[in-house]
Structure 1
């Protein structure tokens, strides 16, 4: 459990780094010059990857607990598709990056709700919900703050 917490908290570093780059304005200077990655792009790219990873946890749970039921597998790929959609939209319309960061943060909150429901059903260790709440506050909070700043 302690190692999972350590890795989870370390996983927040790119979110916080992207937030700092966004808030101090460095990202806009480099983005104007055409140099990438910038703060919002770092956050959107990393956030889409992590949201996919979080969804995959449900795939693993389905393999172990519900190998013959289709819905857990389907639900496990939705976060990856959502993250891909948000990231793709940021490429198509970079002007909407602020809204897209907020939308990606919302994806983490929605997945947290699903995780908490599955935790109540006994699908995860007892320590997992608390860790998910803390990590979701860090990820969704940093995405939302950077998104609001970028509007």
Structure 2
């Protein structure tokens, strides 16, 4: 049996980085305008609205990933994993909306790192997972912070 890879595999890295594009776009258009793209993108996909809507989608997406990790576990640890896995989606549902949406998303993504760490410690997530999650979350938090600063 070979040792688990510690480097982030190419496909998750490339796809994870590509998944940052809507965050970067939202932060860019929040600060510099829509560059005339609102005609075909609509207001929901520009600026703060893009940051909030995409951030909400990604928190829910991450709940699904954590649910998948939970399936690697058994017994009480699996139950705990399933319970923890729904928290990002519930956070997005109950806390995102209104004036504090960017702050709620920032808190949600920061807390998600703790959940990611728990899943790595249980062995349900691959050993490279935290390297990917810290990289992606750092950019996400920076984009959300830029949105707050306008």
- Out of 70, 82, 101, which is 1:73 matched to? 82
Q: Please tell me the root mean square deviation across aligned C-alpha atoms, in Å.
A: 2.0
Match of 1:128 in 2: 129
Q: SS at 1:70's partner residue? A: helix
| Structure 2 gap segments, 5+ residues each | 1-8
Match of 1:15 in 2: 23
Partners of 1:18 and 1:40 within 8 A in 2: yes
1:52 counterpart = 2:53: no
| Structure 1 gap segments, 5+ residues each | 91-95
- The alpha carbon displacement at 1:3 in A equals 0.5
- Count of residues in correspondence between the two structures: 135
- The alpha carbon displacement at 1:84 in A equals 2.1
Match runs of 1:1-150 below 5 Å: 1-26=9-34, 36-37=43-44, 38-66=46-74, 69-87=78-96, 89-90=97-98, 96=99, 99-149=100-150
Structure-2 separation of matches of 1:141 and 1:67 = 38
Q: Where in structure 1 do 4 or more consecutive aligned residues deviate above 4 Å?
A: none
Partners of 2:30 and 2:47 within 8 A in 1: yes
Partners of 2:24 and 2:143 within 8 A in 1: yes
More helix by share: 1
Q: What TM-score comes out, normalization by structure 2 length?
A: 0.80
Which deviations, in whole Å up to 9, do the C-alpha atoms of 1:45-98 show, x marking residues without a partner? 1111111111212211212222664322121111011112344x23xxxxx1xx
